[in-house]
Amino acid sequence: MKKITGGVTAAKGFEAAGVEAGIKYQNRLDMALVYSTVPCKAAGTFTTNVVKAAPVLWDMEVVENSPYAQAVVVNSGIANACTGKIGYGYCLETAEAVSEALHIPKESVLVASTGVIGMQLKMDKLKAGVVKLAEAKEGTLEAGHQAAKAIMTTDTVSKEVAVQFDVDGVTVTVGGMCKGSGMIHPNMCTMLGFVTTDIAISKELLTEAVKADVVDTFNMISVDGDTSTNDTLLVLANGMAGNAEITEKGEAYDKFVEALHFVNETLAKKMAGDGEGATALFETIVMNADTKENARVLAKSVICSSLTKAAIYGHDANWGRILCALGYSGVQFDPEVIELFFQSKAGRIQIYKDGCGTDYSEEEATKILSEPEVTVVVDMKMGSETATAWGCDLTYDYVKINADYRS
Amino acid sequence: MKKITGGVTAAKGFEAAGVEAGIKYQNRLDMALVYSTVPCKAAGTFTTNVVKAAPVLWDMEVVENSPYAQAVVVNSGIANACTGKIGYGYCLETAEAVSEALHIPKESVLVASTGVIGMQLKMDKLKAGVVKLAEAKEGTLEAGHQAAKAIMTTDTVSKEVAVQFDVDGVTVTVGGMCKGSGMIHPNMCTMLGFVTTDIAISKELLTEAVKADVVDTFNMISVDGDTSTNDTLLVLANGMAGNAEITEKGEAYDKFVEALHFVNETLAKKMAGDGEGATALFETIVMNADTKENARVLAKSVICSSLTKAAIYGHDANWGRILCALGYSGVQFDPEVIELFFQSKAGRIQIYKDGCGTDYSEEEATKILSEPEVTVVVDMKMGSETATAWGCDLTYDYVKINADYRS
């Protein structure tokens, strides 16, 4: 498997576009299209929030009941969540507009929205945007990049990744894009993530691979503990790589799972590192836990702790807050036995052992914590299970962004 | 029942003191004593964090196994948490020092610490502080006030309350003090809370009353979602009011429970309103839920949402975030049916109905949300159970305080 430049248009047969539709933002891209020249198998995971946005309800239907999907249309600025029957109607109208513009069945059009909750879409602008998207779509890297920019809200950078590997002597590509960067505490999947691949694979195996992988990728990140109403990860596979369709587990399936995992993990980390107001990606690795689930719970508890996140922002080795966050996670352990380490590109130090802080150098700790990517390693000494979670620091800018997001 | 001026020294036979011991802070009170001239029945609730501070472990022993308690000694600045066997030894030495100074059994001395995790106490300063406390203790309101000031860390105001009521023709007093204001997400009880009463009551009933009441008071507040290693609520009853000892439930017990509830709720609200960096007390009332527990979970989910808390700071009626927080709480409900209201001293408006935002005035909403105490009312329309939770807004100052707390 090798990493290549690109995103949702990296795989064969996929086109994309990003256009200015003036949905809510002015003078920036705010609508995106991902389109496959042939129908795709589709898999998806969606928010577990009881309050589900209209497009989430529609996409769940499509992924469950349509044999194929062929296009994803996305708008930023307005989330179409808490918009009642009117909002659901608007979502259907959007799918119909795409169906008309691209001459594909309405039931093969996936819809995603992100932005302010509770506001209704302006359908004239949205429909004009759909027409523009249909005209603009291209299979170029640049078109994929435009799409990745169009789905951003408070993100500071667009987020894309792509990889290639061989199956049956043919080259298979998996690429994706996603957006954050607030209301990020995915519980099932992320805010908005779109992955395309030209692999030929059965819908059942595609679904299984996606559902299994989000548990250790998108579900292991958090920016603010708020599970969105719009979380959506969609994976489209159009079969154009030319491999024999994967219909059972084996070497080819394993290779695909490995590539999908790399793409998902890369996108998830990009999202955490670009959390609202963040200055650092904050990674927590819990090793030697008794169960995989306990390792996940412990790692997430640390990256979700507001106090720990504020300390990371201050480059302050306040390890007591990490102990505290492990302690209230709900997992049982012996605080006298576990060990803690800080690490980054600037080095690695042990910070806690035998129930007490070690005699570490505060200066060295501050140096390690001043890097843009910092890691806490927790050795539970209880077993052999490992999990990694990704978050970000808590900063003035997080408060600033969210105290006046609507204005 | 009537509210009176005072705190832990309001009830008969209770004395207190606050002194400068130089534990970590300089030029401020940092050690407190609460003392009863006669032995007391004691009840307590403690943090559920797996990582428990040394004094929590000691107090759990005392409350469980000692027939009586007679003094509580508290230091601020250093939490004596994650300090291993040495830290536990220091806690025992503190109890011994108090035992010697006050001529009471070591097993009747409760100890509490709050402040930085992971640092060891300087025992010479602590022991000198104990001697000063023993000399300074008085039954005056001012002495109680000094104690309330001494236990503060990042609190901006001291927190006291007292009430009186009649039982058997005698006047009974219940008073208390507590401190916040970070790492506040009590799960069993609060950071540090101390309640004294002169009522005569059996230890069994005292314990039952305390454990039942924290569920709807201290356990319903949150500042930052971080359940501390030191959470402790201690209630001492010395019997000096002269009522016939309460040994079974009935009118006298109910009156005591009502007074205890008022004291606990008042202290809990003071703590939430003085959360680190807070500019507003943020209350959420969930009414007409199907079960009491669901009402509690929903109310806490709203006051814990970082995005909602930032919006409250910005006086922004961003009700979508409240819907979102209700939706990810884990409780099932129909978003099309519930209703939302904002209220404060400046008025009350309905903000959400029939699955959509109402046609409310943003100007009026901002006016309501600009008060120092703001309330969200959620009508679930599913049953008749109600719960209230208290939090605070999320501000720049929260980040500032916690990015460099140790320095």
pLDDT, residue A192, reads 86
Residues in A touching B326 (Cβ below 8 Å): 50-51
pLDDT, residue A189, reads 37
What average pLDDT does the segment B281-294 reach?
96
Of the candidates A73, A352, A337, A354, which has an alpha carbon nearest to the alpha carbon of residue A194?
Answer: A73
pLDDT, residue A181, reads 73
Choice between A169 and B154, residue whose per-residue pLDDT is larger = A169
CB contact under 8 A, A324 and B352: no
Return d(Cα A378, Cα A363) in angstroms, integer. Answer: 21
Q: What angle do CA B351, B357, B363 make, to 5 degrees?
A: 55
Over 60: is that where the pLDDT of B60 sits? Answer: yes
pLDDT, residue B231, reads 79
Over 90: is that where the pLDDT of A179 sits? Answer: no
Return d(Cα B399, Cα A394) in angstroms, integer. Answer: 7
For residue range B113-145, list pLDDT tens digits in order. Answer: 998 888 999 999 999 999 999 999 999 999 999
Say whether B281-403 and B2-273 share the same fold: no
Q: Is A2 on the interface with B (CB under 8 A)?
A: no
**Residue A385: in which H helix or E strand, if any?**
strand A385-392
Return d(Cα A362, Cα A380) in angstroms, integer. Answer: 24
How confident is residue B187, by pLDDT bands cut at 50, 70 and 90? low
Look at A220-224, A306-310, B373-377 and tell me which has the smallest mean pLDDT: A220-224
Residues in A touching B303 (Cβ below 8 Å): none
Asked whether the beta carbons of A3 and A106 are under 8 A apart, the reply is no
How close A140 gets to chain B, by Cα (Å)?
A: 37
Choice between B71 and A407, residue whose per-residue pLDDT is larger = B71
What average pLDDT does the segment A92-119 reach?
95
Q: Which residue of A has its CA nearest to B78?
A: A320
Count of Cβ atoms closer than 10 Å to residue A88 Cβ: 17
pLDDT, residue A220, reads 84
For residue range A301-335, list pLDDT tens digits in order. Answer: 999 998 899 999 999 999 988 998 999 898 999 99
pLDDT, residue B185, reads 67
pLDDT, residue A190, reads 42
pLDDT, residue B133, reads 98
Beta strands of B183-231 (E only): which ranges? Answer: 192-197
Pair of tokens at residue B320? 């979508």
Of B335, B396, B404, Cβ closest to residue A314 = B404
pLDDT, residue A196, reads 93
Return d(Cα A110, Cα A95) in angstroms, integer. Answer: 7
A-B contacts at Cβ under 8 angstroms: 227
Contacts of residue A26, defined as CB under 8 A and 6 or more positions apart, other chains included, come to none
pLDDT, residue A100, reads 98
What average pLDDT does the segment B219-226 reach?
78
pTM of the model: 0.83
CB contact under 8 A, B306 and A304: no
For residue range A146-176, list pLDDT tens digits in order. Answer: 999 999 988 888 999 999 999 989 999 999 9
Mutate to test the interface with A, among B399, B400, B404, B406 (most CBs of A within 10 A): B399
pLDDT, residue A186, reads 60
Return d(Cα A7, Cα A160) in angstroms, integer. Answer: 5
Q: Is A190 an annotated catalytic residue?
A: yes
Q: Where are the domains positioned within chain B? A: 2-273, 281-403
Q: How many helices (H) and strands (E) does chain A have?
A: 11, 15
Three-state secondary-structure class, residue A351: strand
**CA-CA-CA-CA torsion sign (A319, A325, A328, A331):** negative
How close A361 gets to chain B, by Cα (Å)?
A: 14
Q: What percent of chain A has pLDDT over 90?
A: 73
CB contact under 8 A, B399 and A310: yes
How close B280 gets to chain A, by Cα (Å)?
A: 13
For residue range A47-88, list pLDDT tens digits in order. Answer: 888 888 999 999 999 999 999 999 999 999 999 998 999 999
Over 70: is that where the pLDDT of B311 sits? Answer: yes
- Cis omega (within 30 of 0) on the bond before A202? no
Q: Which residue of B has its CA nearest to A354?
A: B84
Count of Cβ atoms closer than 10 Å to residue A113 Cβ: 30
For residue range A335-377, list pLDDT tens digits in order. Answer: 999 999 999 999 999 999 999 899 999 999 999 999 999 999 9
CB contact under 8 A, A183 and B324: yes
Over 90: is that where the pLDDT of B50 sits? Answer: no
How close A185 gets to chain B, by Cα (Å)?
A: 10
Residues in B touching A191 (Cβ below 8 Å): none
**With left for phi above 0 and alpha for psi between -120 and 50, is residue B22 left, alpha or beta?**
left
Return d(Cα B348, Cα B351) in angstroms, integer. Answer: 10
Average pLDDT, chain A: 91
Return d(Cα B135, Cα B23) in angstroms, integer. Answer: 18
Greatest mean pLDDT among A114-123, A222-231, A339-348 lies in A339-348
CB contact under 8 A, B49 and A406: no
Residues in A touching B225 (Cβ below 8 Å): 225, 304-306
Q: Is B370 on the interface with A (CB under 8 A)?
A: no
Return d(Cα A91, Cα A318) in angstroms, integer. Answer: 47
Q: What is the amino acid identity at position B376? A: V
How close A404 gets to chain B, by Cα (Å)?
A: 6
Over 90: is that where the pLDDT of B350 sits? Answer: yes
CB contact under 8 A, A326 and B50: yes
CB contact under 8 A, A310 and B403: yes
Count of Cβ atoms closer than 10 Å to residue B371 Cβ: 16
Q: Is A316 on the interface with B (CB under 8 A)?
A: yes
Average pLDDT, chain B: 91
Greatest mean pLDDT among A95-99, A392-396, B73-77 lies in A95-99
pLDDT, residue B227, reads 74
* Class in CATH terms, B281-403: alpha beta
Pair of tokens at residue B257? 């429970």
Mutate to test the interface with A, among B306, B350, B393, B407 (most CBs of A within 10 A): B306
For residue range B170-183, list pLDDT tens digits in order. Answer: 999 999 998 887 76
Q: What percent of chain B has pLDDT over 70?
A: 97
For domain B2-273, give the CATH superfamily.
Answer: L-amino peptidase D-ALA esterase/amidase (3.60.70.12)
Rg, Å, chain B Cα set:
22
Pair of tokens at residue B29? 């009170």
Q: What percent of chain B has pLDDT over 90?
A: 73
pLDDT, residue B407, reads 46
Residues 202-241 of B with CB under 8 A from A: 224-229
